[in-house]
Structure 1
Amino acid sequence: MDVFSRAIVGWSTAISKRAKLVLDALDMALWRRDRAGTPAGQGLVHHSDEGSTRHSRSACTIDASMGSIGDCVDNAMMESFWARVQVELLNRRRWRTRLELSTALFEYLEIFHNRQRRHSALGMLSPVEYELRTPPVA
């Protein structure tokens, strides 16, 4: 999640929680921000908790931020986001296949969350609208 605009810039799905899952999501975020004019991670910070995937991608130009152990508010923005995904998408139905679930996640993240869902912290704009109207401070 981009903290500036609340946009989900990198995500991935997999059968198991391995480093490749995190690296795929991070690669997507880097690609998107590079296309948005932020070269190869320049000025970006990757925040992670103390989970098993915390040591992903140390070779690129992203600054790392590590959360503290047992701090319930340290990752509050992402915890709040996942709670909304649970209520607005995952609790509403069951999927027969992983492909159906991946498609539903794509539609939720890329279409609904990033382009349609309005956020009070963004002046009731969607993340995409907010990024278009509010250039980031350099």
Structure 2
Amino acid sequence: MGENRVARLMQVWGMKARTHRIYRRLLTRRAVLKAWPNYRLTLDKPVAVNQQWSSDVTYIKMGRKNVFLAVVLDLYSRRIIGWKLEANLNSDLSRGALRQAVADRSPLPGLLLHTDRGTEFRALKMRDMLKRHQVRHSMSRPGYCTDNAEVESFFKSLKGELLHATSYITLRQLRRHIKHYIERFYNTQRLHSSLGYRTPLEFEGDN
């Protein structure tokens, strides 16, 4: 029986062909970006500055939208050594915070940077930057947010001590207050129990 005859009879009888939809899983950009193992699990705690850093990004509500803060923390002293606040979440944000930390601290080759598995840390631009400065990249295990607990603790302190019940109208205003919190309070005045109730600045000076 010919194709046209089948089509005509189906139309007369009100029949429609039922097809099975084929789903093809396409590789997204997120899927092809490489993730690194958690090298922190096999290392001892740092005994000096610029041996192990940690970085992460959090969102901050500003009116009806979110803005994003990236920080870099020295795991030895818990000092915030780089940060960047912007309206958009991308690799430029995380690289900006890291660029500030590298410029201020001038680490030697072999530094370990630990992050989560966000695409902003797996982006090619970030990988090129780490390679250029000879930084070894470590990433948290999937589902283990505690692998980056030190930065998470900073974000909790920042939001509880500075941002809670406070509203900001402009990004410039928020940036100014975060700068004051980090440089005039968190690094220089806030006592940390993990540092023997010293500030990060004092801990670095005493050691």
Q: Could you say whether these structures have the same fold, taking a TM-score greater than 0.5 normalized by the shorter chain as the test? A: yes
Is 1:32 aligned to 2:104, yes or no?
A: yes
Number of equivalenced pairs: 129
In the other structure, the counterpart of 2:116 is 49
Consecutive aligned runs of 4 or more in structure 1 exceeding 6 Å deviation: none
Instruction: Flag the structure with larger Rg.
Output: 2
Q: 2: distance between equivalents of 1:77 and 1:11?
A: 15
Please report the TM-score for the alignment, with normalisation by the length of structure 1.
Answer: 0.88
Q: Give SS of 2:82's match.
A: coil
Post-superposition Cα deviations, 1:35-90, rounded to whole Å, max 9, x if no partner, equal xxx34xx2421111111212223322111101111013111111111111110011
Matches within 5 A, 1:1-138: 1-34=73-106, 38-39=107-108, 42-55=109-122, 56=126, 57-59=129-131, 60-134=133-207
User: Distance in 2 between the 1:84 and 1:101 partners?
Assistant: 16
Give the TM-score normalised by the residue count of structure 2. Answer: 0.60
Q: Which is strand-richer, 1 or 2?
A: 2
| Long gaps (5+) in structure 2 | 1-72
Cα distance change, pair 76–63 in 1 and its aligned pair in 2 (3 A)? same
Q: C-alpha separation between the residues in 2 aligned to 1:109 and 1:92? A: 19
> How far, CA to CA, are the matches of 1:58 and 1:114 in structure 2?
25
Q: Secondary structure at the match of 1:10?
A: strand
Give the C-alpha shift of residue 31 in structure 1.
Answer: 1.2
Identity %: 34
CA distance in 2, matches of 1:4, 1:70: 24
Deviates more, 1:69-78 or 1:97-106: 69-78
Question: Alignment RMSD, CA only?
Answer: 1.2
Taking the aligned partners of 2:92 and 2:99, their CA distance within structure 1 comes to: 10
